[in-house]
Structures are given as C-alpha cells and as structure tokens.
Amino acid sequence: MAADRDRDAPYAYLERTFDWMADRYVDQTQRVSRGQYRDWMERLAREILDLDPAAVVDVGCGPGYLLSLLARRRPDLRLTGVDLSRRALRHLPPGVERFHGPLEAFARDHAGEYDVAVASFVLRDQADRSGFLADLGRLTGADGHLLILETARPQGLPGVGFDLYFHRWLPWWGRTRLAADWDRSQGPGPYEWLSASQKGWGRGRELNAWLRAGGWEIEQELWPDWAAVRLVRAAPAGRPRGAARPPMAER
Ligand SMILES: C[S@@+](CC[C@H](N)C(=O)[O-])C[C@H]1O[C@@H](n2cnc3c(N)ncnc32)[C@H](O)[C@@H]1O
C-alpha cells in the first residue's frame, strides 16, 4: 500500500543505519559526545529510578546501554527495549524483553503496561512527533511518566561552538573516519544525517506543542539552557501536579 510505503521509508533508513552502527554505537557515541554520553545515561537512569517504577519501556533503545544500567541497579524491574534495529537488540542484557519494529506496532498491544516510557535521542527523527508521543502515552496510561532526552542547540555563545562542532566538524569526521566505511548508495552518511536532523530540530522549541498534541505536559525541565542536551519529564495532560503514582511499596 502506498501509504504504508511512505510511512516506512524513514524507518528503512534508520533501520539500515542502526543495524550498521549497532556494534560500535556506544563507543562511537561516547566519542562524538566528547565523553558525555555515559554520564547522560547515568543521569537518565537516576531520573527513572527516582520515579520508583515497576515497569519501564525504552523506545528506540539502540544497543541498550541505558537498559543495562537499569538492569544492574534494579534486577527486579520489568524492562523492555523497542527498536527498529534487530542487530542493536542483540546487545540487550538477558532478562530484558525486546520488540523489533516501530513504536506504533508495539503500542497497539501493550496499552497501559508501563510506569515509565523513555525515548532518548529518538524523537528528533520521527516524521510524526506528536503521533509518536501519543503512542508513548498509550504504553503508560493515566498514571505514567515520560522522559525525553534530545540534543539541543545551547542558548547564547555556546550555541556558536555547538554549530561549528555539529555542522562543520562532525559531518567531516563522520565522512572521513567514523563512518568512512558507510556505503553511500544506502543514503546519506550517518553523521551527515545527524547534523541535518539536528539542524531541523534546534532546541526542540515545539516540544511543548508536540507533547500537548500527544496528550502530555511537561512536569520539569531537568537540564539548564546552556546544555547541549535537553532532558524533560512529562506526565499525562490534566493530571494534578504532584499526583504521581504512589511508591511501589504502597501499591
Ligand atoms: C540515536 S539511537 C538512540 C539509542 C539510545 N536510545 C540512546 O540514547 O543511545 C536511535 C534509535 O532509535 C531507533 N528508532 C528510531 N525510530 C524508531 C521508532 N519509530 N520505533 C522504534 N525504534 C526507533 C533506531 O533504530 C535507533 O536504534
């Protein structure tokens, strides 16, 4: 069907890219983030565990660095990774549930099963961002929380350095070194893609509007304006503030 083909086209590129990158993703992302990736994941893991969940779904989990941190700290948690890349899913630790495919397919059969949904460096690449956020809402139901981590062009002077790094250095580094073995008949090189997709995203200024359209509202911005990433915690729109679900021990 034509509509399905159109919808699947961006997924096909992402699937190819992350299959190709799966085995080197964590090390390479650590380098590309100038040594910050693992700290970002630590911070994200802390934010998730502070919510005292029983079940967490990481959508676009890649090779599962975050899921490994969570599994190590809370072996009792139900953890699920969802990803377009089958090869990335092979890296998930034992005991973590996995689903190969797009979120929209997973969300159909798992309504309300999770306390926390996470999407880290995934939202930016979605053709329908509010639809993606609405699907995440299906997974968590009325009591859930959502954590979104994304790249963000910093405010002020640091933004100039960010542009030079992201849009000059990174595409060149990608083309000549990090992804020099990428077959260009498969589409743009992964770091050229990353640069272009970040350019269209900026600081994700419309995040509020996409979240609202997807049934969420921001509870808290967890990172300052000058940072190169944005971490946001959201709850279903209309839920009274502070009315988070009770700690697991009381359920
Ligand atoms: C940049 S990686 C991020 C991996 C990991 N979340 C992290 O923070 O390091 C993006 C991942 O999201 C997956 N992805 C993108 N869109 C998706 C979708 N609609 N459904 C499921 N997975 C998706 C890609 O296959 C890729 O593995």
Task: Name the residue ranges covered by the structural domains of the chain.
Answer: 2-153+201-244
Q: Name every residue whose Cβ is closer than 8 Å to that of residue 51 and which is 6 or more positions away in sequence.
A: 115, 116, 145, 244
Cβ of 139 below 6 Å from ligand 1: no
Residue 241 has pLDDT above 60, yes or no: no
| pLDDT score, position 245 | 45
Burial of 251 (0-12, 13-18, 19+ CB in 10 A): exposed
| pLDDT score, position 53 | 97
Residue to substitute in 13, 83, 85 for testing ligand 1 pocket (most ligand atoms within 8 angstroms of CB): 83
Cβ of 82 below 6 Å from ligand 1: yes
Residue 139 has pLDDT above 50, yes or no: yes
| pLDDT score, position 155 | 87
**Average pLDDT rounded to a whole number, residues 114-125:** 98
| pLDDT score, position 8 | 59
Distance 158 CA to ligand 1 centre (A): 27
Residue 120 has pLDDT above 50, yes or no: yes
CA separation, residue 73 to residues 46, 67, 79, 248 (Å)? 10, 10, 12, 16
Cβ of 22 below 6 Å from ligand 1: no
Q: Whose CA is nearest to atom 4 of ligand 1?
A: 62
Q: Name every residue whose Cβ is closer than 8 Å to that of residue 101 and which is 6 or more positions away in sequence.
A: 82, 84
Q: Helix, strand, coil shares of the chain as percentages rounded to 5?
A: 50, 15, 35
| pLDDT score, position 226 | 82
Q: What percent of the chain has pLDDT over 90?
A: 87
Distance 25 CA to ligand 1 centre (A): 11
**What is the rounded distance in angstroms from the CA atom of residue 234 to the CA atom of residue 241?**
11
Confidence of residue 59 (pLDDT cuts 50, 70, 90): very high
**What is the rounded distance in angstroms from the CA atom of residue 148 to the CA atom of residue 124?**
10
Average pLDDT, the chain: 92
Which CATH superfamily includes the segment(s) 2-153+201-244?
Vaccinia Virus protein VP39 (3.40.50.150)
Residue 248 has pLDDT above 70, yes or no: no
**Average pLDDT rounded to a whole number, residues 9-18:** 90
Q: Whose CA is nearest to atom 11 of ligand 1?
A: 60
| pLDDT score, position 224 | 83
Residue 231 has pLDDT above 90, yes or no: yes
Confidence of residue 242 (pLDDT cuts 50, 70, 90): low
Confidence of residue 249 (pLDDT cuts 50, 70, 90): very low
Distance 133 CA to ligand 1 centre (A): 14
Residue 174 has pLDDT above 80, yes or no: yes
Sign of CA dihedral 30, 34, 35, 37: negative
**Average pLDDT rounded to a whole number, residues 57-77:** 98
**Average pLDDT rounded to a whole number, residues 209-233:** 94
pLDDT tens, 150-162? 999 998 899 999 9
**What is the rounded distance in angstroms from the CA atom of residue 213 to the CA atom of residue 188?**
31
Cβ of 114 below 6 Å from ligand 1: no
